[in-house]
A and B are shown apart, each in its own frame.
Chain A
Amino acid sequence: MERDIRILFSDTFLVGIMFANFCIDLFVTAATFSNLISSSYFLMIAPGSNFLTAMVAAFQSGRDVWREKYIKDLASYLFTLPVPRRLFAASRVAGGVARSVIATFPGTLVISYLYGILFSPKLVDAFVIVGLFSLGIVGLSMAVSAFASSIEVFATVRSAIQLYLSFLSTIFYPASLFPVIVQPIVETNPMTWAMNAFRSLSGQGSSLGPIAILVAPSLAFALLGIGCYLWYARL
């Protein structure tokens, strides 16, 4: 896990670039939409910018696993390390989540400030939501990296997942806008759950319920990632 985090910090430029991506998403795209639609729309879509950055950072973990396997030929060395395979696989997922939370740290602070929760205990909830969302995406990206035979296949599946999470979720519009037949797909999108959980932080009530909804799918995706990684390691 420490190794994965060190990889992130071995190039602090990467963290800076990811923050720049977040800033363009928030201060250009979201701000433009607020001019096109209404000023309240900015706050509605703002958490989406941070989740998109988390998604990019989480997929970097899968890409690293893929590169270890096909480009750097490091996988066989890593599997000889004196660490039980299951623990090793779980630590890769945990390392990916830590990287994603670190990469989105400034973004989470910015969105928390916009939501007026920067100096309240709800800030912890904000990081928990980002962490849970990242857990699911890291698991998914590791599962994809285990089966992708080429970088093109990995990039295509990544792109398809990113499209689903971005455009078939409630980042930009409410689920009621979609045709009735598509609404269940939108309602069960992890991004929709993450957005709902984050939006609930600005209210007075407890946000425990919306956050709890994220736990089961994120854990399921993480287990899928671990399972695929172990399956690949056995070959």
Chain B
Amino acid sequence: MSSSTIQVKASTSPVGQVSTSGLVWQMARRDILTLFRTPWIIISRSMAFIIQLFVFAYFISGLVNYPGFFEYYAVGSVVAMVASISFIIGYDIFEEAEEGLLDYLLTLPVSRRQFIIGRALGGAVRSMIYIIPMFIIVALLEKFVNPVSIIAAVLDLFLLAFGVTGLSITMAVTVRSANRFDVTLALLDLAVTRVSTALYPLTKLPLYVRPIAPYSPVTFASTTVYDALVLTSLNAADLAGLIAFVAVFIVLGATIYFRRLEGGVYA
């Protein structure tokens, strides 16, 4: 049986051929549906975003000495939220392994490669589903109307979501203890968003953070999104950085996940 096509018995149709992309989509679809079965996560993250923007950013922008800080923070908070939400897939993968659900998933007629890519894609797509209402709020608030800029910004956000999903999967299959995984992921989330220029301008970051911040994936995304939406221009250098981040962590996450699945810790 080739790796590109596998025979599956679907619930709605008799035995048939399903293409690689079809199987990848089925894996992704499962993760997306999981999102809608757990509305609590959507509620808590939306609540966090709204309070962060309409309480914290509103009051702080009245105190800071930086013109247009609210607009800067509003765009950055969407980017930071995408990164934050994309980390959730790691929790799912960790819990599946802990609860024994992974054993069942591995018996499904889906190749390992399709399984892994599907999980990463599902994680990224559901992050985008999460973030779209928040993105619309910011777009309406800041009057972003250029459709090309909006499409470019959404694509940048998707790239970030895809890369962070890979990073999260890498962590989920590397860290063994539940408590350790919980705090490590929280630290990673905090580090990639705070040590970046998403929420605060580079010139206002402490001197010891300024040399590192431009290389954070969240910085790459926030710069490209900000340039697309506010300056209506394309930042090729940061876009290249973002693509490199995605490539590295999707490959790394997939490779480590694959190794762990085959006779690794889950065996």
Contact = CB atoms under 8 A, between A and B. Distances in A.
Q: Do A and B come from one complex?
A: yes
Interface in A140-186: 150-153, 155-156, 159-160, 163, 167-168, 172-173, 177-178
A71 B99 contact: yes
Contacts, number: 105
Range, interface on chain A: 35 or more
Contacts of B247: none
B63 A159 contact: no
Interface stretch (A9-17, A188-196, A218-226): A9-17
Contact of A29 (B38, B177, B194): B194
Contacts of A199: none
Contacts of B55: 167-168
A209 to B, nearest CB: 27
B59 A177 contact: yes
A67 B187 contact: no
B67 to A, nearest CB: 12
A92 interface: no
B64 interface: yes
Interface in B182-232: 182-184, 186-187, 190-191, 194-195, 200, 204-206, 208-209
Contacts of B65: 36-37
A35 B204 contact: yes
B60 A172 contact: yes
A71 B179 CA distance: 13
Interface string A75-89: 000000000000000
Interface of B: 38, 40-41, 43-45, 47-48, 51-52, 55-56, 59-60, 62-66, 69, 95, 98-99, 177-180, 182-184, 186-187, 190-191, 194-195, 200, 204-206, 208-209
Given A150-B38, A163-B47, 15 more contacts: A18-B183, A25-B190, A28-B194, A28-B206, A29-B194, A32-B209, A36-B69, A64-B179, A151-B95, A153-B40, A156-B41, A163-B48, A173-B60, A173-B63, A177-B62
